[in-house]
Structure 1
Amino acid sequence: MRMRCLMARLAVTGGVSAAVAVVATSYSTEPVQPTLAEAGVWEPAPLTPPRFVERPSYILARAQPKISPDFRPPFLPVVVRNDAPLTAIEPSLTTWSRKIAPGETLDAVLAEAGLAATDRAEIALALGAEYDLRRLRPGHAITVLSTADGRPRNVTLAVEEGIRIEAVFGEQPATRVVAPEPEIVTLAGEARIDSSIFAALDNAGMPARFAVDLAQMLGGTVDFRRELSGGETLRLLWREARIANKAIRQPEISFAALDLGDALYEIAWPEDGTGKATIYLDGEVLRVFSQPVEGARLTSVFGRRKHPVYGNVRMHTGVDFAAALGTPVRATAPGRVAFIGWRGGYGRVVEIAHGADTLTRYAHLSAVPEGFTEGQRVSAGDTIGRIGATGTATGPNLHYEVRVDGRPTDPLTDDRLAEAAGRAIPDTAALTRLKAARARLEEQLASVIATNPNESL
């Protein structure tokens, strides 16, 4: 059945194709219009071939220089060598600082800073190598620079007079003492004496400790209890060492003028540190005198007192001056060395005879000059020893006493030592020093008045 249908379809298709062919043949036999016939036979005219003209030819060439081969080595960049070590990158540091309070120890303060016990012990050893930690006082300051892990990198202990002890910890721990250079300031003042020199200086805002220096210098010449009746004038010129406008040690007197009305006493101290002073009366040289310790602090006077070691009341046969260990001790007047050695509670002692009946004793010394011998002559101001704490002493100090006919007398008031020292021979240089000291005092007082015109001296 399917075959029959297929054959039928093919027959129909063939018939249709034949019909189409017949129709096409019938249309082509019709005549063509003339115009269309001409268009169908048109052909384009042949092209004229191009003409070639012979012309001279030109060859363009650039002259090139003769280049010889270059056999140099190839260029290499210059390598600059830097022998400087690379900058180490410091770890971040934290700073901790505080002043030492009364009753505190260094270890307690460092523990508050968060340092381990081993680090605290290492710091104490480093600082103790340059400073006696038993001398720590309230007001001393400790500063700690620590790394992030709490280890100390730098520890600074600030003590008296602007001095710092610095300990650096690292591969090579080191400790050093840093002492700043102070500014020396010259000051002057004038005071009216009503009751005592000490009170007059204190009321005028001047260093009251200068009363001791004046009593020591003039004690054998001026009777302060009788001759100071009130109304006398005292003028002083002194020096202070300052750091950041703060005094770092005891002031040093350089000139004093005490006007009693009927007598003018003047004292000029040298600037060479010898402590040898020249005393003038009414413009003439009276004598030369030297303090036993320059700039020391008087801690105990002549007379009965409670003994600082034994605790009982007994006679104190001299005066005590507190000063730093090793400070020079000088002869107060010319004489001959009578004794060098030890005397019980006095410790190491030097005694100097001034004439037949007067003797000065310098006790608790730590050392005497090399080659210093008994019988040797000394002048006022010569160094005869160093401050110490030998014998019965609670700390570094000088016990100074004057003995007349073997009996102790008050060194600040007795006139025997002044007589033993004798009257100095006037000389032109001493008078020149006096004039210069007077001029400095007047100049400084004038500047004080100019700075404070409403201040009454």
Structure 2
Amino acid sequence: MQQRIMHLVEYIKNFVLNHYPRQYVYGASVLTILFLAVVFLPSPSENKSENGQRNIPLAIDLSQTELETNISSGSQLSTTQNLSDFVVPQGTPLHTLQGTLQGTLQGNTAEPEPMLADVTLWKNVEVESGDSISAIFTQVGLSAQDMFKVLNSSDEAKVLNRIYPGYQLDFMIPDEGELEQLRLFKSPLEGYLFTLREDSYDVETILKQPEYRQNFKVGTINDSLFMAGQREQIPTQTIMEMANIFGGVIDFILDPRTGDDFSILYEEKYLDGQFIGNGEILATRYTNQGRTFTAIRYINEEGEEGYYNIEGESMRKAFLRSPLDVFRISSNFNPRRRHPVLNTIRAHKGTDYAANRGTPIRATSDGRVTHAGRNGSFGNLVVVKHAGGFETKYAHLSKYANGISKGDRVRQGDIIGYVGSTGSATGPHLHYEFLVNGVHKNPRTILDQLPQAVSIDAAEMDRFRTQTTGLLQRFSDLNETRLLTLNQPSAD
């Protein structure tokens, strides 16, 4: 029976399409539907859903062309919608059903719902080596005039003139094409927000506070501190900083022995649950040939931080024992050394540290840069003047650290350049000289004659103990737990 009905519907549709104008198609379709609904409407006990609705199958097969008018007029009907899925509440009058179907098939006369507002997206650029601010502005579709408008808006905007690889720049550019906002992130925690206000840009500083978590590691020396740190998955920068902390009391080339051990407690930084970097060393310990050195971080009333032993004596000597963290000595201070290039007896007035090209070079003490440039056989040279008549020289650099130039102040441990082979160097190494009142001294022996940096004053010891006692106890407990774990008998 149903098959005959379907044939009848198809016959009526084809007949109307062939003999009547298209506008009558919808009328004929509606009449056919009403006829079938009256004749074959199920009884109240049939096709009843749980919520009291009836499912009435409507077998209508409209072509794509016949639906185009409805779709273009804003109808809710799509070409993929199945008309047999209409649900009609029980008791719906036929004239209501007729109106509903006519509204669906002939197009909804109501205004179409407004589209979602256009979403303005940020254009994100991560600064890479060789990038310039002008090139980045061009890359995102902005002009030089747009760039200068931002640069001239405030003193803070000058930071855009000195961008470095890893910086993040985010541009908000609406459809009008004018820069509305610019975010500059120097790190995940620090940046600036520039916002268009009339004909200039206001600037806000972005400072985010990370979550700090503590990590504790231990290691044993089989070859070098650096290799031991790598085995224990200690970040390279952290192990280098540890070497810097003990740099006034341990020479990590000559002093370490197989079997030396160390432990370190340091911070890790998280933002929104994501790891973003390592923080400061809180406490560290190194046992060298039976002597144990412990260093703990302390911040004084002026906000200056340093590392001290448990008695409050500074771990920091007046000078670091070496300006490199990883190296081997290729040539010592020698007043009568035969020059490797000239083959003549010529005083070697410093110490040569062989290291890979690009190895960071640290200032061995606080001071002021008096020279940063090319200097004959020295190649790229940095000279630092220190208090007390001391002077240090760093030669054959491949390049200078960012921001290092004549007149700059540097602190002990600051990176001032990188190992290279400029000038008359036969291979990558650092030539390091140490002068006292203009006279060259052996940097490897003179240090023992120099005083320590200032330790904590007696009046400040109470503050020191209050700040460090809890941390020292935690560090001690972690070390004890580690020893107990190592000394437990095997399960076998």
Please tell me the residue identity of whatever aligns with 1:145: M
Which residue in the other structure is 2:440 paired with?
407
What amino acid is the match of 1:157? L
Note the residue ranges of structure 1 that are not aligned, 5 or more in a row.
Answer: 1-90, 306-311, 323-328, 332-339, 354-358, 364-386, 450-457
Whole-angstrom CA distance in 1 between matches of 2:326 and 2:231: 23
| 1:108, distance to aligned residue in structure 2 (A) | 3.1
Higher relative contact order (CA 8 A, sep 6+): 1
Q: Secondary structure at the match of 1:169?
A: strand
Query: For residues 133 and 122 of structure 2, what CA distance do their matches in structure 1 show?
Result: 14
Alignment match, 2:213:
185
Task: Tell me which residue corresponds to 1:56.
Answer: none
Q: Distance in 1 between matches of 2:451 and 2:281?
A: 25
Q: Are the equivalent residues in 2 in contact too, given 1:96–1:113 (CA < 8 A)?
A: no
AA of the residue aligned to 2:475: L
1:157 matched residue in structure 2: 184
- The answer to whether the aligner puts 1:196 opposite 2:224 as a matched pair is yes
Do the aligned residues in 2 keep the contact of 1:221 with 1:415 (CA within 8 Å)?
no
The percentage of counterpart residues that share the same residue type is 14
Instruction: Give yes or no for contact 1:191–1:200 (8 Å, CA) kept in 2.
Output: yes
Unaligned runs of 5+ in 2: 1-116, 332-340, 342-347, 354-359, 373-381, 395-401, 418-431, 484-492
Matched position secondary structure for 2:134: helix
Distance 1:152 1:448, change over 3 A: farther
Indicate whether 1:96 and 2:126 are aligned: no
Map Cα deviations across residues 326-346 of structure 1 (whole Å, 9 max, x no partner). Answer: xxx986xxxxxxxx9885556
Aligned with 1:110: secondary structure?
A: helix
- Equivalent-residue separation in structure 2 for 1:165 and 1:438 (angstroms): 38
Output the CA distance in 2 between the equivalents of 1:361 and 1:117.
44
1:275 partnered with 2:294: no
**CA offset digits 1:193-234 (Å, max 9, x no partner):** 111111111221113334444444444544544553322221
Q: How well do the aligned residues superpose, as a CA RMSD in angstroms?
A: 5.1
1:115 aligns with 2:142: yes
Helix, strand or coil for the counterpart of 1:352? coil
Whole-angstrom CA distance in 1 between matches of 2:369 and 2:186? 34
Any idea what the Cα deviations from partners look like across 1:220-256, whole Å, max 9, x if unmatched?
A: 5445445533222210012244434556666322211
After TM superposition, the structure 1 = structure 2 runs for residues 50-199 of structure 1, keeping only pairs within 5 Å, are 94-100=120-126, 101-126=128-153, 129-171=156-198, 173-199=201-227
Residue of structure 2 in register with 1:229 after alignment: 257
**1:434/1:182 Cα in 2 relative to 1: closer, same or farther (>3 Å)?**
closer
Counterpart amino acid of 1:321?
A: R
Aligned positions, number: 301
Q: SS of the counterpart of 1:123?
A: helix
Normalising by the residue count of structure 1, what TM-score does the alignment of the two structures yield?
Answer: 0.50
Distance change >3 Å, CA 216–CA 118, structure 1 → 2? closer
Change (3 A) 1:208 1:116: closer
Larger radius of gyration: 1
Match of 1:115, as an amino acid? L
In the other structure, the counterpart of 1:321 is: 362
State the 1:416 CA deviation.
2.8
Partner amino acid, structure 2, of 1:270: Y
User: As a proportion of its length, which structure holds more helix?
Assistant: 2
What is aligned with 2:447? 416
1:209 counterpart SS class: helix
- Counterpart-to-counterpart distance in 1, 2:169 and 2:193: 10
More displaced stretch, 131-140 vs 343-352: 343-352
CA contact (8 A) 1:194 1:200 kept: yes
Change (3 A) 1:194 1:124: same
How far the C-alpha of 1:130 sits from its partner, in A, is 2.9
CA contact (8 A) 1:239 1:251 kept: yes
**When the two structures are superposed, what TM-score results if normalisation uses the length of structure 2?**
0.47
- Say if 1:362 and 1:169 are closer, same or farther in 2 by CA, change over 3 A: farther
Deviations 1:378-397 (A, max 9, x none): xxxxxxxxx9634298x995
1:290 aligns with: 316
Alpha-carbon spacing, 1:114–1:347, altered in 2? closer, same or farther (3 Å): same
Alignment of 1:368-387 (within 5 A): none
Cα separation, partners in 2 of 1:130 and 1:179, compared to 1, 3 Å: farther
Letter of the 2:175 counterpart: A
